[in-house]
Amino acid sequence: MKASITLTVNGNTHTVDVDPSMPLLYVLRNHLELNGPKYGCGLAQCGSCMVLLDGKAVPSCLLRIDDVKNLKVTTLEGLLRQDGGLHPVQEAFVQQQAAQCGFCLNGMVISAVALLSENKSPDENAIRTNLQRVLCRCGAQSRVIKAVKQASHTLTSKAKQGQE
Ligand code: FES
Ligand code: FES
């Protein structure tokens, strides 16, 4: 049975009329037209559907919409700055050519943002550990690691300058 569910996504409030057991990913893509999160395995195993839930990176393909209505959801689209510029992690992925096929990219970027919000200077081991939940089949992993390191440097120097 459908229900009226209100949720906060990328700072905006939305009300959708859906089955409360519908996965968050379906609501994002099919109702809110937020196509950054991708459908890969549908089993919370590949990471392509990652979103930030109160700042933590989680797969959205098995999350019931009813269980997230009081939490803040941020998708890839919500990472853009207010002036429309890219988030430092997105910028670094472009500059390091870590954005390859675009399918796992969503999970890589979201996971990197979550990691850097907790630890602005992760070592390579921490980067690997945090991003290993996202499966990439294209061999872009070494460039992804470089991109996360670059974003880490950017965020660290912005923090020193008091910009973040
Ligand atoms: S589609 Fe959600 S983890 Fe694979
Ligand atoms: S860049 Fe990740 S699967 Fe292709």
- What are 13-47's pLDDT values in tens digits? 999 999 999 999 999 999 999 999 999 999 999 99
CA 48 to ligand 2 centroid distance, Å: 9
- Position 26 scores a pLDDT of 98
Q: Domain 3-78 sits in which CATH superfamily?
A: Beta-grasp domain (3.10.20.30)
- Range 31-39, long-range pairs (CB < 8 A, 24+ positions): 34/9, 34/10, 34/75, 34/76, 34/77, 36/75, 36/76, 36/77, 36/106, 37/75, 37/76, 37/106, 38/103, 38/106, 38/107
Amino acid at 79: L
Cβ 59 under 6 angstroms from ligand 1: yes
- Which CATH superfamily hosts domain 88-162? [2Fe-2S]-binding domain (1.10.150.120)
- The rounded distance, in Å, linking the Cα atoms of 38 and 47 is 9
Distance from Cα 36 to the centre of ligand 1, integer Å: 13
Q: Which residue has a Cα nearest atom 3 of ligand 2?
A: 136
Determine the distance separating the centroid of ligand 1 and the alpha carbon of 159, expressed in angstroms: 33
Mean pLDDT of all residues in 117-122: 95
Q: In the chain, where does the domain assigned CATH 1.10.150.120 lie?
A: 88-162
Q: Which ligand is closest to the CA of 25, given by its number?
A: 1
pLDDT one-digit tens code per residue, 80-118: 998 989 999 999 999 999 988 888 999 999 999 999 999
User: Does residue 140's CB lie within 6 angstroms of at least one atom of ligand 2?
Assistant: yes
Atom of ligand 1 nearest to the CA of 60: 2
Q: Could you tell me if the CB of 22 is within 6 A of ligand 2?
A: no
What's the CA-to-centroid distance between 6 and ligand 2, angstroms?
A: 33
Q: What is the DSSP letter of 83?
A: T
Region(s) of the chain under CATH 3.10.20.30: 3-78
Percent of the chain surpassing pLDDT 70: 99
Query: Is 101 a pocket residue for ligand 2 (Cβ < 6 Å)?
Result: yes
